[in-house]
Structure 1
Amino acid sequence: MIQIQNALCRFPSFTLQIDDFYLKEGSMTALVGLNGSGKTTLFRLLLGLKKPEQGTISLLDPNTGTLPVSVKQQIGVVLADSGFPETLCLSDIARILAAYYPTFDWPYWKALISKMRLPEHKPLSAFSNGMRAMSKVIAALSHHPRFLLLDEPTAGLDIAARQEIFGLLQEYMMEDGRSILVSSHIASDLETLCDDLWMIHDGRLCLHENVDELQEEWGILTLDQAQYEALDKSAVFAHAPFGNTVRVLVSDRQFYQDNYPQYPAAKGSIDDLLLIAADGRKE
């Protein structure tokens, strides 16, 4: 679905350098990172909204260096900082989408807004945050895209609204030949939904891991400095100070449980990964 190789994008105070990034067909992949890490810039590169100084980027078509209309029509996008004018109602938006996407599906669109209890003829200004977020996701789904790119699609929503959106995404993935790339600050959502994750920090990708393996195999040790210095670091990914202790993120929790039973190894999480990698130092 996606392949990026040796891409470089420089700004006055920030550089994004992506050596190798890919997304396979049939996968739901998370892109995680703290604010300012480069997630949005990476999304802009994928969508052709920003050109790299060097490197290659392909989306859907491995032989296409740019995004022709025929490729754009196979992509559904939800961006955190964009939306439709609030004076429009959903029926207005549907007519706009139908004009741009030959595969726009009126019956499917009507079924989705009915299922999510969204009023067709009220302006978006009368919608709650949850209803607006749902409208953006439905717009992205309405033309049956092969690929969805979702930047913080559930930001600011309560658990009920998030679950409804997750249900739509899971239904979308039931058909073959589709993929999703999603970013979110809510780690528990990504751990539930996604197959794998990429972590970006300071403009560089620093980890690619299967979500199940992250949950089952990774762990956190909390040690004093002397214990950390004496530790076998063969499976240590990163460490960071935490008060008078050191938090150690390891990729093989069982190894430390077997060899250091005196040091409890807690299960790792995406939040742990982000915090330790951001505050500490990678081994």
Structure 2
Amino acid sequence: MASIKRDRVNWQGYLPAITTPFSADGGLDEAGLGRLLEWLHSEGMHGLVLAGTTGEWTSMSAAERARLFALTGAQMKGKLPLIAGCSSFTAAESIAFAGHAAQAGFDGVLMTPPPYIRPRADEIVGFYETVAAAIDLPICIYNWPPGTGIDMDLGLLSRLADIDGVVAIKQSSSSFDRFVETFFALKDQVRVFGFPMNEIGLTMLRVHGGDGTMGAGGVLGRYQPGFYDAFWAGDLDGARACGAKDRVLMREWYTPELVGRFGSGPAILKAALDAQGLPGGPVRAPLLPVSDAAREEIAQTLRKLQIL
């Protein structure tokens, strides 16, 4: 039944879309990936999203993405929910990526509409219907206007939520109103991610329930899942304290439109990981690393938040 599709998965809390470590020569840093995954798990993340926007899927070959899923599944399968970024330009490609994710032991897939071509509503519905009919893993719809040029409205998201394989929506519109209308309209049918970790988000969670946040990077470690851990334990002040750290990061590193202030989102988050001695490493062209001055600003934020 459509009304209980959301209960097919146990995804909740803070699930970061993580960076993909690359080596100095541009290849996949497999050892760095292993260390990053272990750190994220030890910091209490409630799930992980691989090869999303933050994971630089756009510069990875199909073989590299399959390898990323295989390595991650071998290390983390069964320890926490794993969601594979399967965005691509065609349904056939997304279906193939979902197959690799399933083989690796992932629990679901995350997909935007095909970027660049800006498909119309009927075309977007057809895309997701084609993928859903061909794969076994549950699907999280990803509304990401900065990357696709499309801000899917409630009418379209409602049509997508009716597709049997769709169990969740990651609402990453910069308009909070879009998140609110999506949540209240569809929360009993699918899981809706995108809660801000502030007083407004906390109030919505207290009064109306909710699922969580698929945030970027998880670079603050335990404080980001800590917002939900504290809330679930009834420690509202603890949740507020954790959420305040995340809000500082979003305010100082990103514009209100969710675009990086110092460079690309992946470059900023990798600089933050580097500052902590964690596997951040280089971004891939055409993205550029942040400047030395920006690295210092990023480190200053981490010092202010008592991360460094």
TM-score (norm 1): 0.41
Answer with 1 or 2: which has the greater Rg.
1
Q: Which has the higher strand share?
A: 1
Q: Which has the higher helix share?
A: 2
